Structure 1
Amino acid sequence: MTSIPASRPALPLMSRIPWRKIILYTVAILFALWLVLPFYWIVNMSFMHEVDATSVPPHFLPKDPTLANFLGFIHPTTDQALLGSHAVADTPYALMNSMIVALTTALFNLVLGTFAAYSFSRIQFKGSQVLLIVYLLTRMVPGIAIIIPFYLVMRALHLLDTYGALILSYTTFALPITIWILKDYIRSVPRELEDAARVDRCGWFRMMWSVFLPISAPGLVAAAIFAFMTAWNEFMFALFMTSTISSQTMPVIAANFATDLNTQVTLMAAAGVVAVVPPLVLVLICQRLIVQGMAAGSVKG
């Protein structure tokens, strides 16, 4: 006769509860709320009337949604035009300034970074690794330590209160990371493709355009987005080196809202939404390439 195996005793309920997963999911949800709720609150207030935005208890949804706060940037009322040292009327111009500076900074970083990254990836020279580390160490210098020298240099070059001062400064900040991202992508391109392009009598520039750049598209996009965000969000250098709306960017104008005791919080919220939308749309469009570029840049080499 075959013996019937004894059934295993049931585990206690406490040991069957997946505490580890519960804790991880709880932490993830809390972290997501911590990131999303501030942005949601700004968007929520931007569609409110001032009375609803300052009411106690607060309204988590607009009772009577309005676009007046956004329309004020195009046709500000008399009261709105005087708020925050004319911050409302200056917002469209600041948005355009930020876009010009950020896009130009991203373009310069891609051009200079591609040349430098190709040199570090394909040309073996003494001290190349040390030079790469020195480039990266420059990012560890706090901005407040170099802002005065930058200011004096830009004044000597007569670039104060111009796009040039901001573009040169931001390109300097973002270029080391751009080089580090692109060098790993260029190293991943087989040398055989480069040799084949030379056999086909392709010059260096045509080889870069036809071979390297298409393969390195995720790295290029990741580097461009990083440079764009660096220029878009920077405040301290923009504050020091600009003085008029001809070159002031969104962070500077957004700070002006806080200089007036009568500033409407709904207008401040609308300005925040306007400032966030361009980089947010850009990141959403290029999300897949950004993830590929950053992931590859961290594991290849």
Structure 2
Amino acid sequence: MRRRLHPAASFVFAALILLFTGGPVLLSLYGSLVPDRILFSRDRSILTEGPNFETYRYIFTGQLPDSYQQESANRAMISDAARQVPQSLVNSSLNALAAMALNLILGAPAAFVFARYIFPGKKLSFMYLILSPLVPAVALVTPIYMMLQWFGLLGTQLGIILVHTAKALPFTVLILSVFFRKIPAEIFEAAVLDHCSRFQTFFRIALPLALPSVGATGLFAFMISYSEYMFAMVLSGNAQTRPVSVVMAALARNTDVSWSLLNAGIFIAIVPTLVLVVLVWRFVVEGLLGGAVKG
């Protein structure tokens, strides 16, 4: 007989996980609402001074905070890279959404074929697809750079989308193929008896049953694209196409930058992922339980 974990112990473990995952987000929010002179003061806090939105105002409008408009103020603490955060946020969101859509459009049918059908070279191609992420990304930067340059896609969002799609596709195929294998074969046999083609079997039977796993893999494909830095840095062009990961790295490299401004940029950058997680959380949990764990 299995012994259940004590409710108090469950609460403690859940609190620790919440603190570990949500703590940095709350700290970034707090740091973005408090000027540096208060952030490093022991006598003053956000409770005594109230929240300050000057750094957000500067990021979205370019208006300098009042404290930096005074004489002898250290203007080096205000980085111009922060002004690129809104546009880069839009760029990264579009890149990630497009990479997620392409991953599901290409990965779901491929996973279904690998899971339910036998064809020449199946094992070799599946092994190649799954082991391809083991190749170090730094070894692929130069060949991919030259290839995109030859196709005229260097410095474009389309080039970054294609690279991010290829980066997340093996994971999508692996997770969805595991789920498709767990669907009882009798369901597909009944579809054949009802004169369903392979195309109809996939879209009318397999795909609806796999929606939880599709939501989970789509979310992870979004995360991979949104947070990817190396290829985004090498392949991105000017500020109009630069992703948020590159902009945040440039902002963080400024050793004199205001902590309040840096935290504001960090919090703005993680908002799309927080929104997406809230929207598809139910699908993520069901997908992980139903598609990746045998029970």
- List per-residue Cα deviations over 1:266-286 (Å, max 9, x = no partner): 111011111111111211221
**Aligned equivalent of 1:70, options 43, 46, 56:** 56
Please name the residue that 2:107 is paired with.
113
Secondary structure of residue in 1 paired with 2:50: coil
CA distance in structure 2 between the aligned counterparts of 1:61 and 1:253, rounded to whole angstroms: 31
Q: TM-score, normalised by structure 1?
A: 0.82
How many residues align structurally?
282
Secondary structure of residue in 2 paired with 1:282: helix
Please name the residue that 1:43 is paired with.
29
Q: 1:71-86 to 2 correspondence within 5 Å?
A: 71-78=57-64, 86=80
2:78–2:258 CA contact under 8 A, matched in 1 = no
Structure 1 residues 291 and 24: alpha-carbon distance in aligned structure 2, compared to 1, 3 A threshold:
closer
Aligned partner letter, 2:207: L
**Aligned equivalent of 1:297, options 281, 284, 291:** 291
Please name the residue that 1:153 is paired with.
147
What residue ranges of structure 2 are gaps of 5+ in the alignment? 1-5, 69-74
Please name the residue that 1:5 is paired with.
none
Q: CA deviation at 1:142?
A: 1.8
Q: TM-score, normalised by structure 2?
A: 0.83
**Greater C-alpha Rg:** 1
Please name the residue that 1:228 is paired with.
222
Secondary structure of residue in 2 paired with 1:73: helix
Percent identical: 29
Structure 1 residues 222 and 87: alpha-carbon distance in aligned structure 2, compared to 1, 3 A threshold:
same
Aligned partner letter, 2:135: V
Q: CA deviation at 1:155?
A: 1.0
- List per-residue Cα deviations over 1:148-207 (Å, max 9, x = no partner): 111111111111111111111111111111001111222233344344445555554444
Q: CA deviation at 1:39?
A: 2.4
Please name the residue that 2:3 is paired with.
none
2:34–2:46 CA contact under 8 A, matched in 1 = no
1:161–1:241 CA contact under 8 A, matched in 2 = yes
CA distance in structure 2 between the aligned counterparts of 1:158 and 1:196, rounded to whole angstroms: 49
Please name the residue that 2:90 is paired with.
96
Please name the residue that 2:244 is paired with.
250
- The answer to whether structure 1 residue 173 and structure 2 residue 167 are counterparts is yes
CA distance in structure 2 between the aligned counterparts of 1:36 and 1:188, rounded to whole angstroms: 34
- List per-residue Cα deviations over 1:207-235 (Å, max 9, x = no partner): 43322221100110111011100000001
Structure 1 residues 115 and 265: alpha-carbon distance in aligned structure 2, compared to 1, 3 A threshold:
same
